[in-house]
Amino acid sequence: MATAELSCQVSEEDRERREAFWAEWKDLTLSTRPEEGCSLHEEDAQRHETYHQQGQCQALVQRSPWLVMRMGILGRGLQEYLLPYQRVLPLPIFTPAKMGATKEEREDTPIQLQELLALETALGGQCMERQDVAEITKQLPPVVPVSKPGALRRSLSRSMSQEAQRG
């Protein structure tokens, strides 16, 4: 399998603004690989001859710094894919309003947030199936304080033997 690669380098410098940019990427990869389902194998037992031929195709992969990748078989057209950007800062979910802005200058609340606020107001901040903590803890078994690790083991063994005697 033979492979040829073409890489690109771009550099730019602005001395007045003290800025520089440099990028390098693998632009084009052309590889020869066996073509699937395209092989020929003949065997002549009398003459003790064999013939084998495997079809080949050239796979082409082209990348660009604009996060576009084209892939395909040379001569059959390329399929284009948009790659996800990995080195992006998270977008701010909440941006505070300007402190000195008047109510008319502020942006409107998004519709999704308005619906959520309306639901919270309708519920009044209360859960419909709300229970007090005392009611929940009443259903739990009592908590036994343990002063020594061995004390718990002895109390459990006694209670189990007492239950066994009761039948």
Residue 34 maps to a domain: yes
Report pLDDT for 75: 84
Residue 140 maps to a domain: no
3-state secondary structure of 69: strand
CA–CA dist 142, 124 (Å, integer)? 34
Report pLDDT for 120: 73
> How many folded domains does the chain comprise?
1
Residue 24 maps to a domain: yes
**Range with the largest mean pLDDT of 36-45, 92-101, 130-139:** 36-45
Cα-based distances in Å from 108 to 16, 104, 111, 112, 114 = 42, 9, 9, 12, 10
Report pLDDT for 157: 52
Report pLDDT for 43: 92
Q: Whole domain around residue 45: which residue ranges?
A: 3-82
The pLDDT of 26-43, averaged and rounded, is 86
- pLDDT tens string 115-164: 777 777 777 666 667 777 788 788 777 776 666 555 555 555 555 555 55
The pLDDT of 2-11, averaged and rounded, is 86
CATH number for position 29: 2.20.160.10
